[in-house]
Amino acid sequence: MVTSQRRYEWWLVWNGVDLFLFGGWVWVLAIGRKQATGTESGRLFTAALVMFLLLNLSGSARGEVGRLWLMGMPLLVVSAVGGLAGRVARPMAILTAVHLALALAIGWGWPLVAPVLVEAQRPSMPLFTPTPPLAMPLADGLLLQGYELQQSETQLQLTLAWQAEGLISRPYTVLNHLINAAGELVAQADGWAGQGQWPPTCWEAGEAVTDAFVVDVTAVPSGRYRLYTGLYDARDGSRPRDPVFLEEVVIGEP
């Protein structure tokens, strides 16, 4: 429920709940014993608690909050146990030591950062064969074989047919720009190639891929425009080739 809501108010409350659940009864007992703030362990406990409260208020600790607290659990539990020295009976002291050992093992043994391997799978996409094929090179190893354009009063529905000639080094973003007579951009539809699911770096030589884009022309004044398609690298905005002109588009009454 907390994860589905994803509101700051929820995180503000449940982060604290998770923190105290992970800290366990050692925390509750240490606070209940009114740990002296003037002692070294008391100052450590207070400083650690303030640090985590500020982190919580900042709103930066979200998601699987238990994992986020793990990195600080050894510090928090050690500081809490330090304030209980000589104040608890022997059986409870043993239980405290066991809890501390578990907290230390979890806090130091949990991989906070680990590599994740995701196997790319080709999505199902309709293919069409443009006639005649254009074979326009827009990047090394990447051809625009053709396109299909359908127009309504409010949008341009553009379908692009790509073909890989070889390995493609970058996950290019597709640009579809509508340009007026003054060379100004009036509408556009940019997006990752492969419909955002199958980047060009996954394409094999000879593979055909179809992309679909919708250019919103609701706010475009009536007139004649030129439609261009191209590629760019989102990392630095560089374009492997100049965009290619597809066709003239008439919006409203020219």
189-248 per-position pLDDT tens digit:
999 988 888 889 989 999 999 999 999 999 999 999 999 999 999 999 999 999 999 999
Say how far apart CA 98 and CA 92 lie, in whole Å: 10
Look at residue 27 in the predicted model and tell me its pLDDT: 62
Helix residue ranges, H only, 59-127? 65-70, 73-82, 90-109
Say whether domain 136-251 belongs to CATH 1.20.59.10.
no
Rounded to 10°, the helix 8-23/25-32 angle is: 90
- What residue ranges do the domains of the chain occupy? 2-109, 136-251
Other Cβ atoms less than 10 A from the Cβ of 8: the count is: 11
Look at residue 131 in the predicted model and tell me its pLDDT: 74
pLDDT above 70: percentage of residues in the chain: 64
Instruction: Work out the pLDDT band at 17, boundaries 50, 70, 90.
Output: confident
Instruction: Work out the pLDDT band at 133, boundaries 50, 70, 90.
Output: confident
Enumerate residues 6+ apart whose C-beta is below 8 A from 101.
none
Beta strands in 106-232 (DSSP E): 136-139, 142-151, 155-164, 173-179, 185-188, 191-192, 208-216, 223-232
Q: What residue has token string 């973003």?
A: 173
Average pLDDT, the chain: 79
Confidence check: pLDDT of 96 > 70: no
